[in-house]
Amino acid sequence: MQISPSNSSFSDDDRGVAPLIGFIILFGFLIVALAGYQAQVVPQQNSEIEFQHFQELRNDMLEVRSAISTAGQADVSQYPTVKLGTTYPARIFTVNPPPPSGTLQTSQAYNITIENQSGDGLETVSTRFLEYQNGYNEIDIGPVWYEHSVVYIDERDSGGGIAIYEDQNIVTGNDTARVTALQNDFRVSSTGRVTLDLYPTKSARINTSDLEGNVTIKIPSRLNGSTYWDEAIDTTDSDTLWYGGTEPYPGESGIYWVELTVKADALNFNTVGIDSAPESQTAAKQGVGAGLPGDSGGNNEDPTPEPTPDPVCETGSRNVNEKVNGDIAVTGSVNVDKKVTGDITAGGSVTLNSGGGVDGNIQAGGSVIVNQGTTVTGDVSAGGSVTVNNGGKVEGTITENINNYSPCSN
């Protein structure tokens, strides 16, 4: 029997072509879907996270406002916290932009003038505004400002306007003017939560008890009368206060003086220093304000630790942005974003952010915050409260609310 040769070849076998084409098409659809998810869904989800952080930030700035007022009027140091930035959730198949950090900083100094109409001359005291600038990747929101008890968002640079979050409390009830000057140069940037050290004046340079008769006080502001002050201050029914409107601040564009005339005994004037005592003053050591949410255990009585020699401390605060092998001792606050192998001694507060940690002890005149993912291997002693958030850990002993505790006073 003769077998005829086949006319087909291996190259003519197309049995696997259809499934392969189907896989390629399906893979293409998957790539397109992921690209659409990356381009549309990821930015939307991240913008929601940023907006949620902004809501928290606004509340934090209102707490800072309250703390400045309390520090000045109650003469008690305050330690409010501000979460400057945020983080995005981890993603497997898509990519996030870098986590947005925020910056909190004071403006340049401007003068408050106080003139006694009895002819005793003109006094000047410097003050600063406080600005929060976000670093969001998705949403466009202007900076948040604090000035003389007013908290507002300023969208004027992008063609918008002013939105007031909290009104002034310089004049309330038409019987008293309360002015608090914020002093010292300050700037910090972070994605985590930082603590502000607010110190009242122990002895003000201007003693209002020395004033007599009517006093004219001019307060610098970024807001003019028509933008805010003309409606914010109403003294028509007052016998002790008179609002004189606003006028341009000499030599500065966009800055104004708000003028008030007040009877001397109705003026309450004080200064508060951020990060250290007010300029040319010493901080009042009358106590520690409750500027932190919650406790984490520890002794709430008023323990007094065994006296130890004070270390020699550097003046100012410190942000730990890289690993440190050795002790840190500063008169201000310490924000820890990387690991410190050694002890931390601070005249102000200490905050451990994600990625940071302390292989040693912490001594702080203010509060201590141990955030998620951070560990302190030693003891923590603080003049304020000690807060250990979920995921944070202190392996040693916690001693908090220590009266008149100044571990780094030099």
pLDDT tens, residue order, the chain (410 aa): 555 555 555 555 555 566 777 777 777 777 877 777 778 889 999 999 999 999 999 999 999 999 999 998 888 889 999 999 999 998 888 889 999 999 999 999 999 999 887 666 678 899 999 999 999 999 999 999 999 999 999 999 999 999 999 999 999 876 889 999 999 999 999 888 898 999 987 545 566 667 778 999 999 999 999 999 999 998 888 889 999 999 999 999 999 999 999 998 889 899 999 986 665 544 443 334 433 333 333 333 333 333 334 457 888 889 998 888 888 998 889 999 999 988 999 988 999 998 899 988 999 988 999 988 899 988 898 888 888 888 888 888 888 888 888 887 65
Phi-psi group of 230: left, alpha or beta (phi > 0 → left; psi -120 to 50 → alpha; rest → beta): alpha
The angle subtended at Cα 65 by Cα 174 and Cα 79, nearest 5°, is 135
Question: How far is 364 from 379, CA to CA, in rounded Å?
Answer: 11
151-159 contacts at long range (C-beta below 8 A, 24 or more positions apart):
151/58, 151/61, 151/62, 151/65, 152/223, 152/228, 154/222
Per-residue DSSP letter, 32: H
pLDDT of residue 106: 96
pLDDT of residue 226: 96
pLDDT of residue 108: 95
pLDDT of residue 310: 46
pLDDT of residue 301: 37
pLDDT of residue 179: 94
pLDDT of residue 15: 58
Please tell me whether the overall predicted TM-score, pTM, comes out greater than 0.75 for this model: no
Contact 354, 372 (CB under 8 A): yes
pLDDT of residue 122: 78
pLDDT of residue 32: 77
Closest by CA position to 260, among listed 276, 243, 273, 277: 243
Cα 146 from chain centroid? 11
